[in-house]
Structure 1
Amino acid sequence: MYRYRVALIDDHEIVARGFAELFSTIPEIHVAGTVATVTELLETTPHGTRIDLVILDLRLSDGSTVMSNVDRLRARGAAVLAFTGGDDAQLMRAAARAGVLGVVRKSEPAAVLLDAITRAARGETIASTDWAAALDGDPDLADAGLSPREREVLALYAAGAKAPLVASRTALSEATVIDYIRRVRSKYERVGRPANTKIDLYKRALEDGILPVPGRS
């Protein structure tokens, strides 16, 4: 029995066919649809039908924007993983700002795609060198002005440690750690980079170089 419903939005038929074939052998993933536009997916998916993850081509021929597409999909409760065949850093930055879980290249080996999409379906952030490189050059990522102590707490917490463990490693009380996290979220909110969830905090830590991107030296 499958655990996750995943859809692909890509206006290249050969890509859609390959995607469906690739995931036909993975029992935990059900391909809920392969369509050419966000509008088509939303119109053909009944309200109340769950879609856990949408793999979204960043460059669609219908003239839609990355921000609009991601916003519409997230409004329906779907997480989004960006899918790209090019090197357009501007599109990748737009995707990151819109709240995608990460960016994966169409040219990646099948095993890498399967792993990334399966983890994204579970709600994990998919960090990559492409995404990090795009964010490194993003002039719109405003500095949140975190203090060294706030950065230290964020690094531990965003990497997966719970508040009691962060407290133990930093010689702070658990209440103080929670207050630091609250302040970090507030600072990101003030500069237009909200971090309401732990996944959001992980993204901000990657964007600001507080955590290293996995696989990047």
Structure 2
Amino acid sequence: MIATVMIKILFVDDHAIVRAGYRTLLAKQAGLTVVAEAADAVQAYQLFKEYQPDIVITDLSLPSSSGLELIGRLKQRSPETKILVFSMHQNPSFAVQACRAGALGYVTKSSPSEVLLRAIHEVYGGRHFLSSDIAQALALEQFGGERTALETLTVREFEILRLLVEARSIEEIAQTLSISPKTVRNCHYLIKSKLGVAGDIELTRLAIRLRVVDLLELSGKA
């Protein structure tokens, strides 16, 4: 009798209810086990070192340090790490940035549960996987011959853009990303140059138009 391979999962999401719901779902699946859960990037990194999971499933919107930053840290520590992003963000630019950071898969939270389960097995096998809504959005952009300005940004620049639009100070961003304020200022300049904007108000408007953030998110942080 062939033994079932047990895939060890680290699940990262800042909402306890979300973690509980998907822990229950995954526990019912043969060959899957959630060995640890984390509510933020710092905790996730520590648990990753402790449990050495086969797959890390992470949201992008996390307290303090984002999922993109977490992906970068995990890949730096362990390049063979298999990471699946599970996010509410349906903007294909987020998927592009997540894959650039090192994720193998990207599934939106609006996807059926069977899509997430399929993604886990695909990523575990070392294959790329996108939920159909993200794959369709990317295909439509390519079909239309359009190249979003956001795709010209590096992963680090994209993350700094998100924090700038959230009205974080240069010092706060530097502390969050563990980089120097000078690096943040340089990136700030490059971001505006690449996106073709002159000031922060125009930058914010562009970020909203490109759905990096939306007005509800901004009002919720006010």
Change (3 A) 1:41 1:2: farther
- SS of 2:56's equivalent in the other structure is strand
8 Å CA contact retained: 2:41, 2:66 = no
Within 5 Å, which residues of 2 pair with 1:1-217?
A: 2-47=5-50, 49-62=51-64, 64-74=65-75, 75-76=77-78, 77-129=80-132, 130-131=134-135, 133-134=137-138, 136=142, 137-139=147-149, 140=151
TM-score when normalising by structure 2: 0.55
8 A contact 1:102–1:131 mirrored in 2:
no
| Residue 42 (structure 1) shift | 2.4
Question: 1:5–1:53: 8 Å Cα contact kept in structure 2?
Answer: yes
* TM-score, normalised by the number of residues in structure 1: 0.56
Secondary structure at the counterpart of residue 130 of structure 2: coil
| CA distance 1:101–1:46, change in 2 (3 Å) | closer
Aligned-residue offset at 1:21: 0.3
Deviation at 1:133, TM superposition (A): 2.7
SS of aligned partner of 1:51: coil
Aligned length: 140
SS in 1 for 2:129: coil
Letter in 2 for 1:122: G
Aligned partner letter, 2:137: A
Residue 94 of structure 1 deviates from its aligned partner by 1.4
1:46/1:98 CA distance change after superposition, 3 Å: closer
**What is the aligned partner in structure 2 of residue 145 from structure 1?**
none
Structure 1 regions of 5+ residues with no counterpart?
143-217
Q: For the Cα contact (< 8 Å) 1:66–1:94, is it kept in 2?
A: no
Distance 1:116 1:40, change over 3 A: same
Go from structure 1 to structure 2 and tell me whether the alpha carbon gap of 1:45 and 1:54 turns closer, same or farther (over 3 Å shift). closer
For residues 49 and 58 of structure 2, the distance between their equivalents in structure 1, rounded to whole angstroms, comes to: 19
Would you tell me which structure has more helix in proportion to its own residues?
2
| SS in structure 1 of the partner of residue 8 of structure 2 | strand
Deviations 1:54-111 (A, max 9, x none): 111011132x244321111222342111111132343222112112112101121122
Given that 1:2 and 1:30 are in contact with CA atoms closer than 8 Å, whether structure 2 keeps it comes out as no
What SS is found at the alignment partner of 1:22? helix
Deviations 1:177-217 (A, max 9, x none): xxxxxxxxxxxxxxxxxxxxxxxxxxxxxxxxxxxxxxxxx
1:131 shift after superposition = 4.4
Q: Secondary structure at the match of 2:21?
A: helix
- Would you say the 8 A contact 2:10–2:57 is kept in 1? yes
Which whole-Å CA distance do the structure 1 matches of 2:128 and 2:83 have between them? 10
Q: Secondary structure at the match of 1:97?
A: helix
Inter-partner Cα distance in structure 2 for 1:58 and 1:44: 17
